[in-house]
């Protein structure tokens, strides 16, 4: 397979934020009078904003419209990020190294304003040619939509893209898009063995990425 582009997930690959999302949504659910069940975090991982806000309203009993829930949660996420999102060690250098050889894109379940904060704070904004939020496509992960849109905007066939992912739904999304998948298992919410079996390579850390091309 000839690699022509590399598409990175954001949460859990570049920024250590999956547990931040979980904490923010759990706190908001409980403070609003909802019930945050034991599977809520894993259920929502990879969902687009319209999907997870609807899940919070319908499944967790959070009052308000999905749009109101999104606004409240994203506001809290931006407060938690501040000016220094929790970047994963080695991630910025890894993306810079890849960007020297290939066009680079982001395909993330985060809202566009959160993607922008991370790219600006990390200094990667000028290197990332395309950044797609699942809010911009019909379906979130594990559907392939966000990865297919990233490839379309890059002008590269998905089969010639490598996706770098950490989560269960993310790996399945990239695989469904027809991309080569490099998995870096999320230590907080590790993918199942069945899902990891879908990846072409499994890495211990993002710092190992440079050895894969």
Contact 124, 88 (CB under 8 A): no
CB atoms within 10 A of CB 187: 11
Helices vs. strands in the chain: H and E counts, helices first: 9, 6
Closest CA to 147 of 128, 166, 160, 134: 134
pLDDT at 84: 82
User: Which residues are CB-neighbours of 54 under 8 A, at least 6 positions away?
Assistant: 66
pLDDT at 50: 93
pLDDT at 188: 86
pLDDT at 168: 94
Q: Which residues pair with 105 in a beta bridge?
A: 7, 130
Q: Element (H or E) spanning 60, and its range?
A: none
How far apart CA 47 and CA 25 sit, in angstroms, is 13
Per-residue pLDDT reduced to its tens digit, 170-195: 999 999 999 999 999 999 889 999 99
Helix axes of 168-176 and 145-154: crossing angle, nearest 10 degrees: 50
Per-residue pLDDT reduced to its tens digit, 80-98: 887 789 999 999 999 999 9
Domains and CATH numbers, the chain: 5-16+85-212 (3.40.50.1000), 18-81 (1.10.150)
Backbone torsions φ then ψ of 15, nearest 5 degrees = -120, 135
Low-confidence ranges of the chain (pLDDT < 70): 1
pLDDT at 82: 79
Whose structure tokens read 């704070």? 121
């Amino acid at each position: 397979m000839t690699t022509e582009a590399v598409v990175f997930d954001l949460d859990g690959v570049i920024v250590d934020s999956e547990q931040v999302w979980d904490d923010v949504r759990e706190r908001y659910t409980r403070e609003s009078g909802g019930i945050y069940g034991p599977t809520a975090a894993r259920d929502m991982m990879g969902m687009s904003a319209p999907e997870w806000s609807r899940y919070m309203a319908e499944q967790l009993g959070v009052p308000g419209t999905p749009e109101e829930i999104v606004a409240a949660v994203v506001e809290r996420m931006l407060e938690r990020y501040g000016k220094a999102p929790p970047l994963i060690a080695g991630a910025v250098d890894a993306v810079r190294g890849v960007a020297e050889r290939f066009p680079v894109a982001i395909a993330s379940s985060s809202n566009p304003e959160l993607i922008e904060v991370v790219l600006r704070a990390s200094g990667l904004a000028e290197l990332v040619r395309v950044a797609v939020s699942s809010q911009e496509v019909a379906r979130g992960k594990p559907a392939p939509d966000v990865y297919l849109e990233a490839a379309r905007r890059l002008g590269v066939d998905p089969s010639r893209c490598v996706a770098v992912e950490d989560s269960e739904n993310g790996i399945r999304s990239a695989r469904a898009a027809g991309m080569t998948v490099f998995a870096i298992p999320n230590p907080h919410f590790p993918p199942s063995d069945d899902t990891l079996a879908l990846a072409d390579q499994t890495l211990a850390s993002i710092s190992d990425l440079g050895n894969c091309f």
